[in-house]
Amino acid sequence: MELSQLRTLIHVAELGSLSKASDRLHIAQPALSRQIRLLEEELGTRLFDRHGRGMIVTDKGEDVLKHALRVMAELEEIRATASEGDAPLRGHVSIGMPPTAADILTETLVAAFREAHPEATLRIVSAYSGYLLDWMHRGEIDAAILYDPKSARTLRTQPLLEEILFLVAPAGAGLSLDTPVDFGDLEDERLLLPSAGHALRVLLDKCADDRGFRLHVPVEADSYSALKTLVLGGHGSTILQKAPIHRELALGQLCAAPLVNPVLKRRLIMSYPTDRPVPRLARFAGQTIASSIADLVEEGVWPGILPEQDPQLEHSAPKARLAQPYRK
């Protein structure tokens, strides 16, 4: 088994085509085809299903691909260790994000990689925290932004933000960012929320239970973009952080107010697995994400509490400072 075969496997799997991989690697297509065939013969299994539109990785191929990605990542770590500290890195990294964070941070992260590590390849996976945690433990992603991970002891964690949640309503509903709404006032509110079991819904149901009432939720949607669209259409109100609706607030299409009694907050954490070394590209992604969130907080786009600056990965959250206050 040769590294060139593993490299070919990775690129063909990503692109789904020998011809596209040939263009990217600047290697003749027959040579790549031979590498795949030899690798399949050595492993005694079919790695791809061939069809007229390209090549699809088989289930066995997916398993082999995970190991190939780890091998190439370790190889890149060797190169990085021997090179100058600020030299551009190569290799592949997969970063997981919740949907709202992905909507806000993806463009900034891609731009940072293009500038600092143009030869690296970046995969961004958008899913809810439970899925991301499972995929990270299985080695399918290298790091992830998570909301309050329950198994934090199995992770290296870097606190990013304790974000503040807002009641969001259609324009004209009379909400103001300067005038908080008591959580008890939501008893008669028509709310559009994620389904039961979703982390945000669990938080809201618990708060309502503590106040002695049940939330009125005639429509459930697990997509934040769907919730925003429904509110824009005048179908009810929802509860979100400010960042995903910042543009709509500026344009006067939505209005929002912070909630009190209780103040609703969620911890956003950059997480890395403890069972394997953290690749340098994953650390770079984490640093870029933390810096981007801090900038958005300072600009008032993403209200919340920032952690004190700490260059080390922590297993518990450090003391925090209020970076974007609001009036009670």
CA distance 128 to 169: 24
Instruction: State pLDDT tens for residues 62-104.
Output: 999 888 888 887 787 777 677 666 678 878 889 999 988 998 9
User: Cis peptide leading into 262, omega within 30 of 0?
Assistant: yes
Q: Domain residues of the chain, as ranges?
A: 3-69, 88-161+266-322, 165-265
- C-alpha 179/C-alpha 198 separation (Å) is 28
Residue 323 has phi, psi (to 5 degrees) of -95, -25
pLDDT reported for residue 35: 94
pLDDT of residue 274: 81
Burial group, residue 16, by CB count within 10 angstroms (0-12, 13-18, 19+): middle
- Ramachandran region, residue 249 (left: φ > 0; alpha: ψ -120 to 50; beta: rest): alpha
For 165-265, which CATH class? alpha beta
pLDDT in tens, 265-280: 989 999 998 877 788 8
Give the model's pLDDT for residue 88: 81
The model's pTM is 0.67
Q: Which fold has domain 88-161+266-322?
A: D-Maltodextrin-Binding Protein; domain 2 (3.40.190)
Pick the CATH number of 3-69 from 2.120.10.30, 2.60.40.1120, 1.10.10.10, 2.40.50.140: 1.10.10.10
Give residue 328's pLDDT. 30
pLDDT at 225: 87
* Topology agreement, domain 88-161+266-322 and domain 165-265: yes
pLDDT tens string, the chain, 328 residues long: the values are 888 999 899 889 888 989 988 988 889 999 999 999 999 999 999 999 988 778 999 999 999 988 888 888 778 777 767 766 667 887 888 999 998 899 899 999 999 999 999 988 899 999 888 889 888 888 889 999 998 766 556 788 899 999 999 999 999 999 999 999 999 999 999 999 999 878 889 899 999 999 999 999 999 998 888 999 999 999 999 999 898 898 999 999 999 999 999 999 989 999 998 877 788 899 999 999 999 999 999 998 898 899 874 444 443 333 333 333 333 3
Residue among 122, 115, 109, 248 nearest 173 (CA): 248
